[in-house]
């Protein structure tokens, strides 16, 4: 293992935040202060990702990670066509044509090759488990492999594939659920219980993800068995994040979050808006087809600063997010975690004795 | 406030565990070692609850709590009739008639009066918020009032009604969701995020509930802002619990949990079985009508040691539950929480400094 998670200066991993918020500046700011920054390869061409890597390396010598989407399961094309017809009024409203619902693998092989070529310290996967062969290729390139898991069964599968660490994603998390398969019958676990169940079954370093927006929550996941916490929404208002104006405004306004397939064809948590309410029940399991189908709508709404048809990804703790430079956000969260642990340990009378 | 939660010998509250597992012996064993035991008034006549209180007082002088179900919302009687027709094959299978689907308030007024007459230290409410008048009556009787909440909005309402502490119930919890209203559109919160959001909005002592089955999870909720953790599934296999044989066997076997209205007409988390799979989609929002409707089926299945039609309530951490005397379970969880806090605090370098 190339990155020893127990030796991070701050026990915080930046969530990859694909789809806009991820920027080289954000990852650099996070890694520079001793936490661990990430680039998101998702939705981007390998050449664009290479540019991001170079931009990031121009900003910092600190190690960072690259997140890659695992190839998707087949989609139901009949359900997809039916869904497209339900979006006609929205297309008219925003004056755009719907996108072509392509079923692609987001240039998976090209991104794995890029990660190996560029000697990225950590390559993490979301939406599936890389094969043992892919894991070996990355290990041969001196990269660590992390896998996002949402259940004890996925955790075991990732361990068997050779993963070096697991990003354990609770139900609270914003953005896409990392399920290997988007199965409506699967159990969604809250983060504390999931960390305990995974720690009971696998022997890998765990990174807790989902709803962690302040130091007390970070201290909580560290107690629950994580060696670090991954924060996403807490960085979405950072100066260095590429979060859109419509998204920033929604994050500051508040409101419930829910899971939806309306935007992408895969379950993801966002702030509830009109598009989710009107289309959530009709949306099929068809990722990334639906992502491409709705892309022009979302882009037009974003341009119009209309949050009602934008995918407003947010975890359940998002209203606690601060507007500040990323370095200040992660430094404060880590410091608050330390003081929380000290205060709770002192109250229980065991904090000073171990 | 009569019970100072920060002064408990062990920062653990026993979940009330209505419907069988709750016994005076269990509550006494928990309270005797410095944690806080509970009796469940739910589903019982006030005279039976009075007997439980007297049995418990014969076993310990330690304070304890009594949990009362708040009166339910109206049920949809047409949906209820449709649901009853879908249960005919099950009634035949178990050789029983379906129960009479009564809509009652579980003798709410009688139980509040009993709690005041008996000078119970803590009266907690589930399924709704008591009126400010009820809270005053209990305060006049020198009782503390705790309210189970599942969202920041419910937390504020309970604070305004005069609650002394809140039982903050995460999505992970076994048994019934404590929602004031069973609204399919409501956001279900994971416990860490919910504790942080509630702590941000109300100034009351919080008790974290949901998926806490070991010391690491208890340490986590204490860091997340709870003054104590409430444990339920972790005590279901205790020697003193009244958990049925069928339920005990299922808890030892493992399997997914899910939320269902199939058994009671209100969302509750249990281990998935045939009855949940076959009837979950048809079950209406009609509590306690459906509870009464399915009671004979569940009783017959329990007698036959057939877990497939029993409500196998379990939180998401239930596979971590130990079979041991209750005193040993709570003592070990508290000790493990202390050592977790010490170890994590030491790793972060802040544990000894505050």
Mutate to test the interface with A, among B341, B342, B346 (most CBs of A within 10 A): B341
The minimal CB distance from A223 to the residues B189, B257, B344 is found for B344
* Nearest chain B CA: its distance from A28 CA (Å): 23
Give the Å distances, CA to CA, from A111 to A104, A133, A165, B332.
13, 15, 20, 48
Give the model's confidence band at B354: pLDDT under 50 very low, under 70 low, under 90 confident, else very high: very low
- Rg (C-alpha) for chain A, rounded Å, is 19
Q: Furthest-apart CA pair in chain B: how many Å?
A: 67
Dihedral sign for Cα atoms in the order A296, A297, A303, A309: negative
Mutate to test the interface with A, among B185, B192, B200 (most CBs of A within 10 A): B192
* The pairing of beta strand A228-231 with beta strand A206-209: parallel
Residues with Cβ within 8 Å of residue A319, at least 6 apart in sequence: A254, B197, B200
* Digit-coded pLDDT (tens) for A125-182: 999 999 999 999 999 999 999 999 999 999 999 999 999 999 999 999 999 999 999 9
Instruction: Answer whether residue B324 shows pLDDT above 60.
Output: yes
Give the model's confidence band at B1: pLDDT under 50 very low, under 70 low, under 90 confident, else very high: low
Instruction: Answer whether residue B225 shows pLDDT above 70.
Output: yes
User: Helices A24-32 and A46-59: crossing angle, nearest 10°?
Assistant: 40
SS (H, E, C) chain A: CCCCHHHCCCCEEECCCCCCCCCHHHHHHHHHCCCEEEEECCCCCHHHHHHHHHHHHHHCCCCEEEEEECCCCCCCHHHHHHHHHHCHHHHHHHCCCCCCCCCCCCCHHHHHHHHHHCCCCEEEEECCCCCHHHHHHHHHCCCEEEEEECCHHHHHHHHHHCCCEEEEECCCCCEECCCCCCCCCCCCCCHHHHHHHHHHHCCCCEEEECCCCCHHHHHHHHHCCCCEEEECHHHCCCCCCCCCHHHHHHHHHCCCEEEECCCCCCCEEEECCHHHHHHCCCCCCCCCHHHHHHHHHHHHHHHCCCHHHCCCECCCCHHHCCCCCHHHHHHHHHHHHHHHHHHHHHHHCCCCCC
Distance, in Å, from the CA atom of B326 to the CA atom of B335, rounded to the nearest integer, reads: 14
The DSSP code for B21 is T
pLDDT at A254: 87
**A256–B341 C-beta distance less than 8 A:** no
pLDDT at A354: 35
* Digit-coded pLDDT (tens) for A329-349: 999 999 999 999 999 999 998
Contact indicator for A344, B219 with CB cutoff of 8 Å: yes
Distance of CA A198 to the CA centre of its chain: 19
Q: Domain locations in chain B?
A: 9-71+106-236, 78-103+238-313
Looking at CATH, the fold of the domain delimited by B9-71+106-236 is given as TIM Barrel (3.20.20)
* Digit-coded pLDDT (tens) for B285-308: 999 999 999 999 999 999 999 999
Size of interface A-B (CB pairs under 8 A): 200
Distance, in Å, from the CA atom of A15 to the CA atom of A207, rounded to the nearest integer, reads: 11
* Digit-coded pLDDT (tens) for A275-319: 999 999 999 999 999 999 999 999 999 999 999 999 999 999 999
* Nearest chain A CA: its distance from B245 CA (Å): 24
* Digit-coded pLDDT (tens) for A39-94: 999 999 999 999 999 999 999 999 999 999 999 998 888 999 999 999 999 999 99
Q: Which helix (H) or strand (E) holds B218?
A: helix B215-223
**A220–B221 C-beta distance less than 8 A:** yes
- Answer whether 0.80 is exceeded by the pTM: yes
Give the residue-averaged pLDDT of A10-39.
97
Give the residue-averaged pLDDT of B127-142.
98
pLDDT at B353: 40
- Contacts B205 to A, Cβ<8 Å: none
* The pairing of beta strand A257-260 with beta strand B144-149: unpaired
Q: CATH classification of A7-71+106-236+325-348, choosing from 3.65.10.10, 3.40.50.1010, 3.20.20.70, 3.40.50.720?
A: 3.20.20.70
Please give the torsion angle defined by the CA atoms of residues A335, A340, A342 and A344, in that order, rounded to the nearest 10 degrees.
Answer: 180
Structure tokens, A319: 């209203």
Give the model's confidence band at B77: pLDDT under 50 very low, under 70 low, under 90 confident, else very high: confident
Distance, in Å, from the CA atom of A290 to the CA atom of B281, rounded to the nearest integer, reads: 26
Q: What value of ipTM does the predicted structure carry? A: 0.96
Peptide bond just before A288 cis, omega within 30 deg: yes
Mutate to test the interface with A, among B168, B173, B188, B190 (most CBs of A within 10 A): B190
Peptide bond just before B246 cis, omega within 30 deg: no
CB atoms within 10 A of CB B109: 11
Instruction: Answer whether residue B117 shows pLDDT above 90.
Output: yes
């Amino acid at each position: 293992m190339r990155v020893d998670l127990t030796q991070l200066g701050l026990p915080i991993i930046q969530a990859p935040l694909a789809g806009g918020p991820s920027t080289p500046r954000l990852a650099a700011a996070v890694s520079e202060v001793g936490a661990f920054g990430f680039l998101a390869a998702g939705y981007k061409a390998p050449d664009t990702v290479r540019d991001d890597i170079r931009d990031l390396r121009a900003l910092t010598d600190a190690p960072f990670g690259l997140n890659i989407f695992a190839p998707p399961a087949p989609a139901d094309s009949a359900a997809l066509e039916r869904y497209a017809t339900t979006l006609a009024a929205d297309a008219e409203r925003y004056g755009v044509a719907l996108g072509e619902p392509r079923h692609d693998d987001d240039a998976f092989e090209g991104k794995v090759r890029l990660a190996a070529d560029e000697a990225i310290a950590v390559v993490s996967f979301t939406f599936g488990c890389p094969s043992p062969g892919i894991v070996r290729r990355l290990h041969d390139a001196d990269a660590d492999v992390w896998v996002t898991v949402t259940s004890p069964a996925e955790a075991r599968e990732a361990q068997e594939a050779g993963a070096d660490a697991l990003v354990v994603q609770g139900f609270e998390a914003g953005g896409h659920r990392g399920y290997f398969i988007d199965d409506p019958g699967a159990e969604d676990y809250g983060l504390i219980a999931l960390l305990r169940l995974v720690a009971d079954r696998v022997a890998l370093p765990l990174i807790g993800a989902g709803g962690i927006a302040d130091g007390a929550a970070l201290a909580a996941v560290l107690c629950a068995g994580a060696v670090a916490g991954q924060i996403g929404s807490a960085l979405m208002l950072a100066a260095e994040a590429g979060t859109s104006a419509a998204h920033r405004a929604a994050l500051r306004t508040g409101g419930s979050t829910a899971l939806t397939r309306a935007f992408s064809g895969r379950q993801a948590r966002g702030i509830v808006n009109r598009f989710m309410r009107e289309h959530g029940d009709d949306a099929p399991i068809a990722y990334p087809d639906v992502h491409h189908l709705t892309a022009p709508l979302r882009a037009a709404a974003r341009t119009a600063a209309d949050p009602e048809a934008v995918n407003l990804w947010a975890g359940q703790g998002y209203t606690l997010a601060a507007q500040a430079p990323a370095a200040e956000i992660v430094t404060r969260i880590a410091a608050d975690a330390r003081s929380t642990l000290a205060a709770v340990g002192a109250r229980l009378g065991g904090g000073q004795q171990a």
